[in-house]
């Protein structure tokens, strides 16, 4: 690639040495989040403990996952694998729903105050929470407050008693008797995406609203560290999320509230009255489109609510990042949950057509981006999987020969570097170069900073950064007199030379 001098781009975030101005208590966002590395666990598929009794008809752990079958992962299985999680460098867990439910994913809640018995019940949850906190690992639960299930007590009462039920106004019902099971006809009640199994709660009813506030308060008092809030845009009741924030913050001023918003989330995070941050899917898209360099399996991606084509060159990636960083206050960016995949997407390796270099470059970009990174369980060993249910397989604990040990080391080494370098956790962001396949940027704070260069192109890339570069901290690359050279399809991180 022909060398072109770089230019120092706009700085996003505070000038090094200056604090972000506070905007009042309502906008307080928990400082621990920017220092955290999250590990997302789908509880039925992570690990199974012999200490938790199980029903007789479980799927074989290593068999392909299905939409309705259980594999029997549980919360004590998490406890027994905390060495793995801590060894990776993760300091926080995000758990998909754990409350009693008749589904392996547990987004169909039966009882919001009981942990599912297959997971070990409330006793296992208490043990898990204590074990995590003893290791300094935070725990964030999935809050599904827009809809419940056909087995939810109050909905089930309507199924049994019809017009005589005392709970008719807990839901939005068009007609009786309820059509809860005939899928060839739409449900005659409001249901999430028209799914008969997911009746929408009537949050305009003050009794329902108070019930849900009480659920959030109950588990906050139990000691959790945050809530990931499912489909929050579907709850349109005025003031609902503002009230929930006030009430859980009254119990734990540092509780983390992160919303599942897939697109521009300005209205959700800009003033700090609802969420601290959101699941950062726009950056997921940009990272994958750049790092993949066209290595996208379109058949795998098709069912996923992500736009991963056409590819982005370095300039296109830089423009996407700049536009995104202009949207929100800096403190919101530091609380966004950055991810490459989740239970709602295919596995990142599968989306990137199994290309090892693409996955590694994406990991570099995700772990150095402003915000808190979130790793979907087993992505660190290169697990494959198509969209649900394919991305929800059991962790292959008994088959280490299938693990990508090189990728695992990439994750471990980059997470260790992130913990060691404060600039990677909270430092301001500046684009330094974007030419062809080579994109370079810095993270800067009062202590100095780091320079990251990612070459997604098929040829060696060279760029002038307009700033001096010091010691090589990670990866492959050369730097001299502010000019860096990075081999094809690789990345490097240097200490910024003050």
Q: Read off the tokens for 459.
A: 């040829």
Q: Which is catalytic among the residues 44, 59, 142, 260?
A: 260
**Residue 440: closest CA among 426, 425, 457:** 457
Buried b (16+ CB within 10 A) or exposed e, 45-71: bbbbbeebeeeeeebebeeebeeebbb
Q: Is 260 a catalytic residue?
A: yes
Strand 337-339 and strand 372-376: the pairing is parallel
Q: In the numeric block, which tokens belong to residue 251?
A: 């119990």
Contacts of 152 (CB under 8 A, 6+ apart): 109, 110, 111, 199
| Residue among 44, 59, 142, 230 flagged as catalytic | 230
Beta partners for residue 475, in sequence order: 492
Give the helix/strand (H/E) hosting 208: helix 206-221
Rounded to whole angstroms, the Cα distance separating 305 from 246 reads 32
Residues in the chain: 498
> Is 297 part of the annotated catalytic residue set?
no
3-state SS string over 238-289?
Answer: CCHHHHHHHHHHHHCCCCEEEECCCCCCHHHHCCCCCCCEEECHHHHHHHHH
Instruction: Cite the active site residues.
Output: 230, 260
């Amino acid at each position: 690639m022909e060398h072109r001098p770089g230019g120092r781009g706009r700085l996003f975030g505070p000038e090094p040495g200056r604090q972000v101005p506070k905007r009042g208590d309502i906008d307080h966002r928990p400082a621990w989040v920017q220092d955290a590395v999250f590990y997302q666990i789908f509880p039925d598929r992570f690990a199974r403990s012999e200490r938790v009794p199980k029903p007789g008809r479980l799927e074989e752990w290593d068999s392909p996952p299905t939409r309705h079958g259980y594999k029997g992962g549980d919360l004590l299985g998490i406890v027994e694998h905390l060495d793995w999680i801590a060894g990776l460098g993760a300091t926080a867990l995000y758990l998909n729903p754990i409350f009693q439910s008749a589904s392996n994913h547990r987004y169909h809640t039966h009882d919001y105050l009981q942990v599912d018995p297959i997971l070990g019940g409330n006793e296992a949850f208490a043990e898990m929470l204590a074990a995590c906190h003893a290791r300094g690992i935070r725990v964030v639960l999935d809050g599904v407050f827009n809809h419940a299930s056909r087995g939810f007590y109050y909905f089930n009462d309507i199924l049994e008693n019809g017009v005589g039920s005392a709970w008719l106004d807990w839901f939005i019902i068009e007609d009786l008797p309820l059509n809860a099971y005939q899928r060839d006809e739409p449900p005659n009640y409001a249901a999430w995406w028209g799914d008969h199994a997911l009746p929408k709660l009537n949050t305009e009813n003050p009794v329902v609203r108070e019930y849900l506030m009480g659920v959030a308060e109950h588990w906050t008092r139990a000691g959790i560290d945050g809530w990931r809030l499912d489909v929050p845009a579907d709850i349109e009741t005025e003031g609902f999320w503002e009230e929930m924030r006030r009430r859980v913050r009254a119990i734990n001023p540092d509780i983390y509230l992160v919303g599942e918003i897939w697109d521009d989330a300005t209205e959700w995070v800009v003033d700090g009255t609802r969420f601290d941050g959101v699941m950062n899917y726009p950056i997921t898209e940009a990272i994958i489109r750049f790092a993949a360099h066209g290595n996208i399996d379109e058949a795998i991606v098709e069912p996923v609510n992500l736009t991963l084509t056409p590819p982005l060159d370095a300039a296109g990636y830089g423009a996407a990042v700049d536009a995104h960083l202009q949207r929100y206050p800096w403190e919101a960016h530091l609380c966004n949950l950055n991810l490459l995949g989740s239970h709602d997407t295919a596995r990142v390796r599968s989306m990137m057509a199994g290309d090892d270099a693409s996955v590694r470059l994406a990991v570099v970009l995700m772990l150095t981006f402003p915000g808190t990174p979130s790793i979907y369980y087993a992505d660190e060993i290169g697990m494959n999987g198509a969209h649900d249910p394919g991305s929800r397989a059991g962790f292959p604990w008994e088959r280490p020969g299938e693990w990508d040990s090189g990728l695992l080391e990439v994750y471990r080494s980059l997470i260790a570097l992130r913990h060691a370098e404060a600039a990677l956790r909270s430092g301001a962001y500046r684009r330094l170069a974007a030419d062809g396949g080579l994109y370079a940027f810095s993270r800067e704070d009062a202590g100095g900073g780091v320079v990251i260069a990612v070459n997604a192109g098929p040829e060696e890339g060279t760029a002038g950064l307009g700033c001096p570069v010091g010691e090589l901290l990670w990866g492959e690359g050369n730097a001299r007199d502010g000019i860096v050279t990075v081999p094809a399809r690789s990345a490097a991180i240097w200490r910024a030379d003050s």
